[in-house]
């Protein structure tokens, strides 16, 4: 079957997953641009992508034999689901593969921001210097005094809330879905207005549905507390850079930390680049070796679909 089946891989996968797939199929690794990609698609039955390959109508038209698209990641924002459905192309992904990595990342940001470590001591200190060092280590907020709000209570958002509860945060969430009380892990469900107004820390974990594009409007951002800590590790397109820059400019005591961005790489001229209380990170929440390996094993799901469709 391997001589008959071609699978195109456009972004990096783990060496173990690629080796497993090569035993079973003709694997072509190439970026999703240029003539090499177009040539590979003509005979491809499988296509595996990660974050930056757009699987749209044009790609599907160039791949007349395509049976399945695999996304090595959580969401399928970059895949035209409707177009795939119309052509009978299956979509598979790895919805929980990076959950632990993202939760660790969010937790590390909370700790380093709300309870940063003092400057390490590298030489002997006088009594006065020792006292000054201890005074400078005082932080204004303790986590157990803060309310952490979660916008989007899926696999990752729920786990972030559970970890925050264990640390001592009061926790609350808002989600478009009606989450049964038995699945809330004791986290309070509140409406959006309450979540935005009363969360000392707001962490965003929304999915890629079209309704979430620019969901956090300027008017909604204006509801945030003046000293809010805002974290976004989910979807950059949930708000416009200009709207957030304006909201943060009116809140000099607030701090926004963004790991995802509407345009990646971040272009020159993005107003958040010059916002003094905004920290921009390079989309690194899932960048652990364990998460990368787990996401790469979408190859198994891709191969299962191909085997099933070829045998019927």
- The kind and range of the H/E element at 61 are helix 57-61
Element (DSSP H or E) covering residue 108: helix 99-114
Name the maximum alpha-carbon separation found in the chain.
Answer: 80
φ, ψ of residue 237 in degrees (nearest 5) = -80, 5
Dihedral sign (CA 205, 207, 208, 210): negative
CB of 80 closer than 8 Å to CB of 56? yes
Q: What phi, psi does 45 have (nearest 5°)?
A: -105, -15
- Which active-site residues does the annotation give? 235, 264, 283
Tokens representing 160 are 């972030």
Phi, psi (degrees; rounded to nearest 5) at 66: -65, 130
Place of tokens 């469900």: 189
* 246, 272 Cβ separation under 8 angstroms: no
Strand arrangement of the beta sheet that strand 68-71 belongs to: 26-29, 6-9, 46-49, 68-71, 90-93
């Amino acid at each position: 079957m391997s001589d008959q089946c071609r699978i195109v891989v456009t972004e990096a996968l783990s060496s173990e997953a690629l080796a497993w797939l090569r035993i079973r199929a003709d694997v072509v690794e190439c970026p999703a641009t240029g003539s090499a990609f177009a040539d590979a698609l003509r005979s491809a039955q499988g296509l595996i992508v990660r974050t930056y390959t757009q699987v749209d109508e044009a790609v599907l038209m160039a791949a007349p034999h395509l049976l399945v698209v695999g996304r090595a990641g959580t969401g399928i924002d970059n895949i035209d689901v409707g177009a795939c459905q119309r052509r009978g192309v299956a979509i598979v992904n790895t919805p929980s593969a990076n959950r632990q990595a993202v939760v660790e990342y969010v937790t590390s940001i909370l700790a380093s921001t709300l309870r940063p470590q003092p400057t390490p001591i590298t030489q002997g200190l006088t009594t006065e210097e020792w006292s000054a060092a201890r005074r400078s280590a005082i932080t204004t907020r303790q986590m157990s005094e803060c309310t952490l709000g979660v916008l989007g209570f899926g696999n990752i958002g729920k786990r972030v809330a559970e970890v925050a509860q264990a640390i001592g945060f009061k926790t609350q969430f808002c989600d478009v879905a009606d989450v049964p009380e038995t699945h809330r892990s004791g986290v309070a469900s509140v409406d959006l207005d309450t979540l935005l107004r009363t969360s000392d820390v707001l962490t965003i974990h929304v999915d890629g549905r079209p309704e979430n594009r620019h969901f956090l409007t300027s008017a909604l951002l204006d509801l945030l507390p003046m000293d809010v800590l805002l974290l976004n590790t989910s979807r950059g397109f949930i708000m416009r850079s200009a709207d957030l820059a304006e909201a943060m400019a009116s809140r000099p005591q607030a701090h926004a930390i963004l790991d995802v961005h509407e345009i990646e790489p971040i272009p020159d001229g993005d107003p958040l680049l010059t916002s003094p209380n905004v920290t921009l990170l390079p989309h690194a929440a899932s960048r652990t070796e364990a998460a990368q390996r787990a996401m790469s094993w979408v190859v198994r799901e891709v191969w299962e679909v191909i085997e099933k469709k070829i045998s019927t």
